[in-house]
Amino acid sequence: MDTKTGNFQEGIHFAGFEAQYREKLIMDTVITDYKRVKESLSGSWNYAVDQYDTCLRAKWYEENYENDAGMPYPMDFSFDTWDTIKVPSVWNLQEEMLKLYEGTIVYTKTFKYTNHGESRVFIKIGASNYQTVVFVNKQFMGTHLGGDTPFFVEVTDVLEKDNRIVLAVNNTRRRTNVPCENTDWFNYGGIHRDVEIMRLPKAFIQNFKIALVPNSDFKKIKAAVYINGATNGTAKLHISELGVSTDIKIEGGKGIVIFDAAPMLWDVDNPKLYDIEVIFEDDMLKERVGFREIKTEGENILLNGNKIFLRGICTHEESVENGRAITEAEIRQNFMLAKEMNCNFMRLAHYPHTEKAAQIADETGILLWEEIPVYWAIEFNHEPTYRDAENQLIELISRDYNRASVIIWSVGNENADTDDRLVFMSNLAKKAKAMDDTRLTSAACLVDHFEYKIKDRLCEFVDVIGINEYYGWYVPDFSKLMRVFKNSDPQKPVIISEFGACAMPKLRGTKDDMFTEDKQLHVFEQQIDAFKNGPSYLSGLSPWIFYDFRCPRRTHMHQKYYNRKGLLSPDKSHKKLAYYAMKEYYASLVSK
């Protein structure tokens, strides 16, 4: 920046304005908070479309309404009289004008604060897509990247009686983002999960992790406590229903304990959960956790020691009315519909869904595959892109570690097997394993279409191989699927993480007529036949996809900007023919 000229004006001349906001990235800030008391900052916020990023260029958040001599200065914004918008929501569905908007929207809200005895205060932003620059009381607090994981900003030192928060949220698709600029889903924008405020003592439990010790015959539990604000002391852990009351020695801010216990195991038919309390000095954290063991043995997946076949379905986080800001009632409905279809498993594609999903799955008894959006052609040789992807993985695992329903961390979807990709994604798989040895890792891979077999160098680094195959649809020659099955010897469990075909709801025709329910059914019938005679390593299925979802790439007259591979219509009111075929097939597997 050449600021030496007398007529240089930073707010309009400084092209490199973005860099200053990238200097302080908000990463890995997750606090275990499922049962913590929080106050809501959701509701009505003021907002303005800021297509040219003038808030960041001209520093609106500093609210310099006067010049240095105290004379009034004209401003291009008026925070408190801007229009209002609902938080959480996706802006695309709030205003017709915002339907296809990609860029920055500036959100602001004021709130009162008085101290009620707490020493520290944090603001949690559940998720906002994609880049969020945070300002509180005129101060830049940091920038978060990633549209689907939570972040926590400490505001202890900046809070006053009257406060203003400003969030500049930008959903521009970029080559170096995770996901990159090209995906097969709609790029919603906005603060699409809750914004909340948390009051905490000086030293508090930042993270609490608890799970059965793998291979302990379900008789040992391991708990880890990470303290923020103190290095040494003693934490206490109580699980009254199990008669457990134990001390955890904290050293260097961390304490681990392993103890004997015989919990009733969490299972899909009996999703037993235990109330837990952890106390450290003035902080008390509650959790509600199920205990189960998931592992692989040869070609099989074992839940609590028993072989399980994953009768799954993929789903995006979307509803017609709320887009990505799916409500709790909608999530419950999805799980109920999945259970009705005889599913015991759901793949939450292709990015972290709200934490409410895993909380509800814990109660309902549905196994989950959770995923980060390392999708298609990521900029694999770009270090900041890796750090972003890894941070999304860290934030996801920290958030959902205690959810028994989550059995798989997936590090990505359908990426070409290049050297750069192998380094990038194998490092993610290793990171997931290092953070969590109580779950399986996976990735949705592609079939090798030269050799017609499961052949992807990433397979070596994951516990379970996901395979997306579209025989009967993108690859019309169905016989190839049997060839793939025969040619492959993965020596690990394989989940067919996607298969499917498009059908416009209620459109009928012959089984050769594209986009009819009959054609989709035909594809499903062939797939199901193949699975019935499938290889021994086949350990689960998650067809693509539960219900039709918005997709800008799909412009056919029968698509109308929707991906039509749903088994249900977008509003879930209509069940397509293939839904019934899948339901029946899963019913036949229930007792197996």
Instruction: Name the site residues for ligand GCB (rule: CB under 6 A).
Output: 184, 350, 413-414, 468, 498, 544, 563, 565
Nearest distance, CB of residue 545 and ligand GCB, angstroms? 7
d(CA 375, CA 327): 25
- Cβ closest to ligand GCB, residue 537 vs residue 544: 544
Q: Which two tokens stand for residue 543?
A: 């067809």
3-class DSSP state of 42:
coil
What is the secondary structure of 317-330 as a DSSP string? S-BTTTBTS--HHH
- Cβ closest to ligand GCB, residue 406 vs residue 551: 551
- Cβ closest to ligand GCB, residue 528 vs residue 551: 551
3-class DSSP state of 109:
strand
d(CA 429, CA 442): 8
- Cβ closest to ligand GCB, residue 36 vs residue 350: 350
- Cβ closest to ligand GCB, residue 426 vs residue 559: 559
d(CA 523, CA 476): 9
Nearest distance, CB of residue 161 and ligand GCB, angstroms? 48
3-class DSSP state of 20:
helix
d(CA 333, CA 346): 13
- Cβ closest to ligand GCB, residue 384 vs residue 476: 476
- Cβ closest to ligand GCB, residue 29 vs residue 413: 413
d(CA 257, CA 464): 29
β-strand pairing of 464-468 with 494-498: parallel
Nearest distance, CB of residue 428 and ligand GCB, angstroms? 17
Nearest distance, CB of residue 104 and ligand GCB, angstroms? 27
With 0-12 / 13-18 / 19 or more C-beta atoms within 10 angstroms meaning exposed / middle / buried, residue 573 is exposed
Nearest distance, CB of residue 309 and ligand GCB, angstroms? 22
Nearest distance, CB of residue 184 and ligand GCB, angstroms? 4
Output b/e per residue, 34-63; b: 16+ Cβ within 10 A: bebebeebbeebbbbbbeebbbbbbbbbee
Residue least distant from ligand GCB (Cβ): 184
- Cβ closest to ligand GCB, residue 398 vs residue 563: 563
Output b/e per residue, 227-261; b: 16+ Cβ within 10 A: bbbeeeeebebbbeebebeeebebeebebebebeb
| Residue tagged 């799955």 (tokens) | 361
- Cβ closest to ligand GCB, residue 256 vs residue 514: 514
Nearest distance, CB of residue 360 and ligand GCB, angstroms? 23
- Cβ closest to ligand GCB, residue 144 vs residue 316: 316
With 0-12 / 13-18 / 19 or more C-beta atoms within 10 angstroms meaning exposed / middle / buried, residue 23 is exposed
Contact 442, 371 (CB under 8 A): no
- Cβ closest to ligand GCB, residue 184 vs residue 390: 184
- Cβ closest to ligand GCB, residue 287 vs residue 498: 498
Nearest distance, CB of residue 550 and ligand GCB, angstroms? 11
Apex 331 CA angle, 328 and 333, nearest 5: 110
In sequence order, what are the beta bridge partners of 406? Answer: 368
Nearest distance, CB of residue 24 and ligand GCB, angstroms? 33
Nearest distance, CB of residue 443 and ligand GCB, angstroms? 11
| Residue tagged 């959770």 (tokens) | 370
- Cβ closest to ligand GCB, residue 109 vs residue 353: 353
- Cβ closest to ligand GCB, residue 8 vs residue 474: 474
Contact 405, 291 (CB under 8 A): no
Output b/e per residue, 511-546; b: 16+ Cβ within 10 A: eeeebbbbbbbbbbbbbbebbeebbebbbbbbbbbb
Q: Which candidate, 14, 20, 1, places its Cα nearest to that of 143? A: 20
Task: Give kind and range of the element (H or E) at residue 483.
Answer: helix 479-487
Nearest distance, CB of residue 351 and ligand GCB, angstroms? 11
Number of H helices, E strands in the chain: 10, 32
d(CA 463, CA 369): 13
Task: Give kind and range of the element (H or E) at residue 283.
Answer: strand 283-289
Nearest distance, CB of residue 497 and ligand GCB, angstroms? 8
Nearest distance, CB of residue 547 and ligand GCB, angstroms? 13
- Cβ closest to ligand GCB, residue 410 vs residue 413: 413
Nearest distance, CB of residue 562 and ligand GCB, angstroms? 11
CA 159 to each of CA 109, 111, 126, 262, 274: distance values in angstroms, whole numbers, following the listed order:
14, 10, 20, 46, 37
Nearest distance, CB of residue 415 and ligand GCB, angstroms? 10
